[in-house]
Amino acid sequence: MPYVSEQFILNARKNIKINVNKPETFAGLMLFLFCVEERKQQESYLKANMQEFQKLADKAFCFKNVDKNYNHKFWYGLLPKDWVYQTKTMFLKNTKVSALNFLVSLFWYMDFDNNEHIIEYFRSKIGAQVFDELFYTEDIENVFINEIVCDRESLLKVYNGTREKSTVKYEGSLISKDASDLTSAPFAQTLYSSHEIKKIIWVADFDFIYQFESNDEIPQATPIFYTSFSNLSKPFLLLAGVSGTGKTRFVREQVKTTGKLDQTFCLVPVRPDWHEPSDLLGYISRLGKEPDYIVTDVLMFLVKAWKEIVDAEVLVRDCNFIGHKDLLEKIRPFWLCLDEMNLAPVEQYFSDYLSVLETREWQWSSNQFCYSSEPLLKADIIKGLPNLGQGLRDRLGLSNSEYDSLWDYFSNYGIGLPFNLIVAGTVNMDETTHGFSRKVIDRALSIDFGEFFPNTFNSFFNQTEKPKGLIYPILSAVQKNDLNGSVDIDGLKSIAFLNEVNAALCNTPFKLAYRALNELLLSVLCHKPQDILSLQAVWDDFLMCKILPRIEGDIDKLSSSNGEETLLHQIESILKIQLAEIWGITARPDLYRDSITNPDTPIIITCRSEHKLAWMKARLNHSGFTSFWP
């Protein structure tokens, strides 16, 4: 019965400490996979035996003799498509780790015939393909040469441990909790409480997909996702245009297509003296005997959007919301319209939203979704109120028992960003308003209202066109396979396009990064172009919404290094090639408007960015300064 030596155990643990980020969480993930008893949904939905997990965790990391009974329980995990890649990125520094060292750190107390035996023991449980992606094997002498198993008490002394603190982490620190503790020890607890781990696996202590496997259990609803609707790539719009073009009316009409003005619409006139998030989200007042939270219309509207999600029977588990895609058909968009948004500095009063917006995360496995976000209103604020915020709960309309799970989420994790909330800010640029920093522009879809929804006087009494309905996004990132079904099947055409544009922006403050690429691919995914004209239309609108709004400055700022032409001229030269199919002619389809008289025939328009670039160039030549904003 050969075992591994104490010295090799210590060396193996040291090797893992050096080569693996957050090794306890990685070990917990691997043990979870090792304990899987059942796989569904193309092996992306896992059922793991946590009784076995607890036994293995204690034996591996608790260096005292543990004699206790473990409760029989199962946990369920949902793996996204790219979970192996995310695992390598998060834990393994985009490389592989020694299989022998890692497995010895987990199974040092077991006897194996040789090195190959322990590797095959583990490889057969987690799957050969996953094993080969994460681990490498070494051709070294057999390390299983001891006749007796290493003494736990001896290992505990090496780390200066005690009976009270006998669980040893990889770097040698001691914790009082047994490794098997699913709520506190770092091997299991981080699998469900860490926000970052959701990129790799979503874990619950109940069979959440079973809730939706029977069609009888899926709540039926009247669909709101008609073919004339389009999913937005971002739930934050800046509607820019001269006064009176109908920006606020546009938002109201959008509400009417899916909901009611008195239910799913909130109009908030922005005041010039707003300078902090409390102007929107409320604040704690200490004028009375006890602290009291002052609720705003915006906070009430946020909670109203959350209630719609819970009323649709989306499940609340910890800080996550999970459900079947069919449930989305009964969850209406909630439109928050910030009128004259830039009367006050947006970067100040809207800073919390701008940050939390980037933490939205959707995970999909087949037809099941999992959504999460960081909080706009932190849980500590709620916990600091009298009676654990019961008065706030009552004012928010959450007193009924059907909202217990939602209130528990608010109390423990804060009030996050509901996925069905769309924020639209109306924007005018004049001497009374503030400009936008790139922090704001990068996080929004900027829509020049006159370009996307022009006021055609001759059609005032006989409208022939109407805006398409806009729906909240249901994705936060694009995977390669998601683009199947579009003309840009692998995203390479769009990546090449953005590379060309970004080449002109190098060495300028307007250079693009990963966020821009992700949002371009999201736009392609939302519109699913079937031909090159439609694909170039997506690119054209992306230029209008995400790239041109970033560019502003005087002739010195926008001049090229050789001084022969401006940045605008360089971009124009690139776009003449990249948008060759729609440049200079009326050929591209309008992706945001439908024909009233011929709804099945797309409206054909000229290239929007071509016209906008000409306008920006003329403005620069005339006044020595230019920007995107009308």
* Residue 215: per-residue pLDDT: 42
> For residue 156, what are its two tokens?
């505990």
Q: Which residue has the tokens 């058909």?
A: 329
Q: Which among 107-111, 178-182, 218-222 has the top mean pLDDT?
A: 107-111
Q: Per residue in 174-199, pLDDT tens?
A: 998 888 888 888 888 778 766 678 77
Taking residues 403-420, report their average pLDDT: 95
Q: Which of 7-11, 65-69, 179-183 has the lowest mean pLDDT?
A: 65-69
| Alpha-carbon span 562 to 471, nearest angstrom | 45
pTM given for the model: 0.73
Cβ(413)–Cβ(406) under 8 Å? no
Average pLDDT over residues 586-590: 95
Predicted pLDDT at 491: 95
**Mean pLDDT of all residues in 450-460:** 87
Rounded-to-integer distance, Cα 192 and Cα 594, Å: 45
Q: Which residue reads 């609803």 in tokens?
A: 221
Q: Is pLDDT above 60 for 217?
A: no
- CA dist 91 and 103 (Å) reads 16
User: Which pLDDT belongs to residue 563?
Assistant: 64
pLDDT digits (tens, 9 = 90+) for 368-394: 999 999 999 999 999 999 988 999 999
Inform me whether the pLDDT recorded for 424 exceeds 60.
Answer: yes
pLDDT (tens digit, 9 = 90+) per residue, 233-257?
A: 999 999 999 888 899 999 999 999 9
Name which of 51, 42, 105, 587 is nearest 368 in CA terms.
42
pLDDT of residue 480: 81
Crossing angle for the helix pair 23-34 and 115-126, to the nearest 10 degrees? 70
- Convert the pLDDT of each residue in 529-563 to its tens digit: 999 999 999 999 999 999 999 999 999 899 876 66
How many angstroms separate the CA atoms of 282 and 420, rounded? Answer: 21
pLDDT at 566: 92
Q: Report d(CA 345, CA 337) in Å as an integer.
A: 16
Instruction: Answer whether residue 220 shows pLDDT above 60.
Output: no
pLDDT at 135 over 80: yes
3-state secondary structure (DSSP) of residue 202: strand
pLDDT at residue 219 greater than cutoff 50: no
What is the average pLDDT across 66-94?
Answer: 87
Res. 318 pLDDT band, cuts 50 70 90: confident
What's the mean pLDDT when you consider all of the chain? 90
198 neighbors 320 (Cβ within 8 angstroms): yes
At 293, the pLDDT band (50, 70, 90 cuts) reads: very high
| Measured distance CA(537)–CA(607) in Å, rounded | 8
Radius of gyration over every alpha carbon of the chain, rounded to an integer in angstroms: 28
What pLDDT, on a 0 to 100 scale, did the predictor assign at position 203? 87
Task: Decide if pLDDT at 595 tops 70.
Answer: yes
**By the 8 A CB rule, do 413 and 318 touch?**
yes
- The better pLDDT of the pair 248, 71 is held by 248
| Average pLDDT estimate for 274-286 | 92
Cβ atoms 548, 600 nearer than 8 A: no
Mean pLDDT within 407-430: 95
Q: For the beta carbon of residue 78, count every other beta carbon within 10 angstroms.
A: 25
Please state the rounded mean pLDDT for residues 262-284.
Answer: 94
Give percent of the chain above pLDDT 70.
96
Distance between first and last Cα of the chain: 80
Task: Read off the pLDDT of each residue in 321-337 and give the average, rounded to a whole number.
Answer: 94
- Cβ–Cβ < 8 Å for 571, 539: no
Over 50: is that where the pLDDT of 218 sits?
no
Q: What is the pLDDT of residue 212?
A: 56
According to DSSP H, which parts of 350-491 are helical?
A: 351-357, 379-383, 390-395, 404-413, 438-443, 449-452
Predicted confidence (pLDDT) at residue 304 exceeds the cutoff of 60:
yes
Residue type for 165, please?
A: K
The predicted model gives 501-514 an average pLDDT of: 93
Tokens of 111: 């006897």
CB 180 within 8 A of CB 58: yes
